[in-house]
Amino acid sequence: MAGRITQVFYKGKRIYIHDFKGLSVEEALVIIPVLAKETAGKNDKEQLIILDITGGKATTEIVSAMKKAAIQIKPVTKKMAIVGITPLQKVILNAVNMVMELKVTPFDTLEQAKEWLIKE
């Protein structure tokens, strides 16, 4: 799992990037709970997070794993953005956001996501 969460400093703010790019369904199902546990265990209680799922799949199993992970990390998350999603995945994200009262916001680029995250 090394290297799947990186931290960058953008305009003086720490942003954690969770890298799910190009994972197979099987790999993602192993990595999602590990990254959630790692995120929830950080001392940083107001994390700014970007999920990069470029090239990822949106299977029922992945969506379920992401929902569980979101519940686990919600207490330590200030704002969360997502990049690399398809139009169909945006529809799924909107449904998950409504049901789980999440505010994961989609963006086309990492740069756009970073700018949104640092705005108060």
83: pLDDT confidence band, cut at 50, 70 and 90?
very high
66: pLDDT confidence band, cut at 50, 70 and 90?
confident
pLDDT of residue 109: 95
What are the pLDDT digits (tens) for 28-37?
A: 999 999 999 9
Q: What is the pTM of this model?
A: 0.89
Neighbouring C-alpha atoms within 13 Å toward the C-beta of 25: 8
Is the separation of the CB atoms in 33 and 62 below 8 Å? Answer: no
How many secondary structure helices (H) and strands (E) does the chain include?
4, 5
What are the pLDDT digits (tens) for 13-61?
A: 999 999 999 889 999 999 999 999 999 998 888 999 999 999 888 888 9
Q: What is the overall mean pLDDT for the chain?
A: 90
pLDDT of residue 2: 54
What helix, strand, coil percent values describe the chain, rounded to 5? 45, 25, 30
Q: Please count the residues of the chain.
A: 120
Is the separation of the CB atoms in 76 and 44 below 8 Å? Answer: yes
The listed CATH number (3.40.190.10, 2.70.70.10, 3.30.750.24, 3.90.105.20) that belongs to domain 5-118:
3.30.750.24
Mean pLDDT of 81-92: 90
pLDDT of residue 11: 96
